[in-house]
Amino acid sequence: MRGRGRHRHCGHGDGPFRKGGFRRTAPRQAVLEVVREADDYLAADEVYRRVYERLEGIGIATVYRTLQLLTELGVLSRIVSDDGKALYRVADEEAALHRVVLVCRRCSARRAVPASDGALGEHLRSLYRTIENDHEFTVEQSLHQLSGLCSDCSRISHGGSPRL
Ligand SMILES: [Zn+2]
């Protein structure tokens, strides 16, 4: 059995929202910490139960909305269990801090790409180092939303047939 952990939300200073103003981001912070501490997928109602222990009075709708938002942002990953329940867990620690989202201006498709892996991760870390050196500003979180054309729409606008 897990302890109640009532006071554990009082900031270890390691969360992605640590500088964001506690009041405004409290639900996000609490949801993220509950899911992170679980070490396994958690059902939405269980997330709500545990968040409520930390933020008494929080509404179930707020918790569900927060889960949905964090999933859209790529911070949490969501699966559906055999009995149809939505289950959540943290997608990846660095993904929680740095995100890249590609948005197609034509079909509005949104795609989150991993911002911490491979060449892209290298480029971003280099970008943040440059900002730190040149502008004396430490980057802790980032959200890059890039607008353009997805591969399907790009094919259409180049005059090719989209699908054969
Ligand atoms: Zn498109």
SS3 assignment, position 10 = coil
108: CA distance to ligand 1 center in Å? Answer: 6
Task: Give residue-wise pLDDT tens across range 71-110.
Answer: 887 788 888 888 889 999 887 666 667 889 999 999 999 9
164: CA distance to ligand 1 center in Å? Answer: 17
Let me know the angle formed at the C-alpha of 104 by 101 and 109, rounded to the nearest 5 degrees.
75
- CB-facing half-sphere around the CA of 27: CA atoms within 13 A: 16
116: CA distance to ligand 1 center in Å? Answer: 24
Q: What residue spans of the chain are helical by DSSP H? A: 22-38, 44-54, 60-72, 93-97, 118-135, 151-157
162: CA distance to ligand 1 center in Å? Answer: 11
99: CA distance to ligand 1 center in Å? Answer: 20
Let me know the angle formed at the C-alpha of 102 by 79 and 64, rounded to the nearest 5 degrees.
35
Instruction: Classify residue 14 as exposed, middle or buried by CB count within 10 Å of its CB (0-12, 13-18, 19+).
Output: exposed
154: CA distance to ligand 1 center in Å? Answer: 7
Neighbours of 51 (CB within 10 A): 26
- Laid out side by side, the sheet with 142-148 consists of 110-113, 98-104, 142-148
Return the CATH class of domain 93-157: alpha beta
pLDDT of residue 159: 62
CATH of domain 22-90: 1.10.10.10
105: CA distance to ligand 1 center in Å? Answer: 7
Between strands 42-43 and 86-90, the pairing is antiparallel
pLDDT of residue 117: 75
Let me know the angle formed at the C-alpha of 103 by 97 and 106, rounded to the nearest 5 degrees.
175
**Model-level pTM?**
0.46
DSSP symbol at 25: H
- Delimit the domains of the chain by residue range: 22-90, 93-157
Q: What is the full per-residue pLDDT of the chain (164 aa) written as tens digits?
A: 444 444 444 444 444 444 433 345 788 889 999 998 887 899 999 999 999 999 988 999 999 999 999 888 778 888 888 888 999 988 766 666 788 999 999 999 999 887 877 888 889 989 999 999 999 998 888 889 999 999 999 987 766 555 54
